[in-house]
Structure 1
Amino acid sequence: MSILRGRRRPDVTTVELVGGIEQRDLALADYDPRWPETYVEHERRIRDALGGAVRVEHTGSTSVPGLAAKPIIDILVTVQDITAEEDYLDQLLDAGYELRTREPGHRLVRTPARDVHVHVLEAGTQEAQDVVLFRDRLRSEPADRDLYERTKRALLSQDWSDMNAYSDAKSEVIAEIKRRARTSSDAHSA
């Protein structure tokens, strides 16, 4: 993560999972054309809570037409200073989201139904750029989209202690797809 000037305080140094580890049933659903509509509803809610000056994007598998996904809408929100929780966290909680994760460079709030995850990252960080890079690659490259879906299906045939362990297991394939996206992007800009 790049260190940006002007932070109000040091960021957290540990991972806090509010409520502890959760074991959840994980299953893929075929792409649902209602997912973008759900995103738009939550984008409005987030913008109403935080104002129009934030970046809000539909990310994750539900943002990729044709890709099977866990029916959880992932949303990226970028803020100027991740450490300035007073600028965004209470507003998101007041809008009906619940804090789930506080970790270096990342906060996660979600709906009580756990069907929408809002990932808060700091604007300009590699992590925020990578989320969009990965989404855009899956949208534009059928082979990578298929690889990612096959990987998710294979992993979901196993038992997972919690969603974080499942997510971590996908990291190697995600890194490979992002590497190809960067290589392709570099070739196009050369």
Structure 2
Amino acid sequence: MPADRKPRRADVTAVELVGGIEKRDLVLADYDPNWPSWYRSHERRITTALGTGVQVEHTGSTSVPGLAAKPILDILVAVEDITAEEDYLDQLVDAGYELRVREPGHRMVRTPARDVHVHIHGIGDLEALDLLCFRDRLRSDPEDRDLYERTKRALIDQDWPDMNAYAEAKSAVIAEIKGRARKS
């Protein structure tokens, strides 16, 4: 949200994981050249639901050509006011997505098949900007892209209680790559 605008109401203060912790089998797939068109179909679905006044970006490993990834599409949607769920949440649910996460500054909806995660943040949110910074670094730097893929391959076959634990295990490498991206 722009600095000169205030949210309509206070944001949530706790993490709500709708449905609780889910143990899932994690698989790493080689890059699929169909991922960009899969993203574009969801981008159209989202902009049809929300209108063109939102920013929609393909993020996550499926957005990086040549990078192995879990075959789960990550999409970033930036809305004017994250606290004004009435401006976006019902519309996304009506478009076929399900609410999975509600936490301060972030909401996440996903497809019933759990193969598309739509992360909603406020416009200008630092976490959202970090996602784009990380994606762009992986797209432009083959050494960091290789480092990240090696890290994922080393972790993917371990027994994780849920995807959040797997994501947390990658956090040090992600922070290292983001640090280099910010310096360049």
TM-score, structure 2 length as denominator? 0.97
1:145 is matched with 145
Partner of 1:178, secondary structure, is helix
TM-aligned CA deviation for residue 155 of structure 1: 1.1
1:10 matches 2:17:
no
1:106 is matched with 106
Contact 1:97 1:112 in 2 (8 A): yes
TM-aligned CA deviation for residue 2 of structure 1: 9.5
2:69 is matched with 69
Q: Please list every run of at least 4 consecutive aligned residues from structure 1 whose deviation after the TM superposition is greater than 6 angstroms.
A: 1-4
TM-aligned CA deviation for residue 18 of structure 1: 0.5
TM-aligned CA deviation for residue 3 of structure 1: 7.2
The residue type paired with residue 179 of structure 1 is G
1:180 matches 2:160:
no
The residue type paired with residue 127 of structure 2 is E
Contact 1:100 1:108 in 2 (8 A): yes
TM-aligned CA deviation for residue 128 of structure 1: 1.2
Quote the Cα distance in structure 2 between the aligned partners of 1:151 and 1:45.
33
2:33 is matched with 33
Contact 2:26 2:157 in 1 (8 A): no
Percent identity of paired positions between Structure 1 and Structure 2: 76
TM-aligned CA deviation for residue 4 of structure 1: 6.8
Quote the Cα distance in structure 2 between the aligned partners of 1:40 and 1:84.
26
Shift of the 50–177 alpha-carbon distance from structure 1 to 2, 3 Å rule, reads same
2:132 is matched with 132
The residue type paired with residue 60 of structure 1 is G
Quote the Cα distance in structure 2 between the aligned partners of 1:14 and 1:150.
34
Runs of 5+ consecutive residues of structure 2 not aligned to the other structure: none
Partner of 2:132, secondary structure, is helix
Quote the Cα distance in structure 2 between the aligned partners of 1:25 and 1:2.
39
Quote the Cα distance in structure 2 between the aligned partners of 1:56 and 1:47.
8
What's the C-alpha RMSD, in Å, of the aligned pairs? 1.4
Quote the Cα distance in structure 1 between the aligned partners of 2:64 and 2:164.
21
Quote the Cα distance in structure 2 between the aligned partners of 1:128 and 1:57.
10
Q: How does 1:111-122 map to 2 (within 5 A)?
A: 111-122=111-122
Contact 1:8 1:81 in 2 (8 A): yes
The residue type paired with residue 109 of structure 1 is V
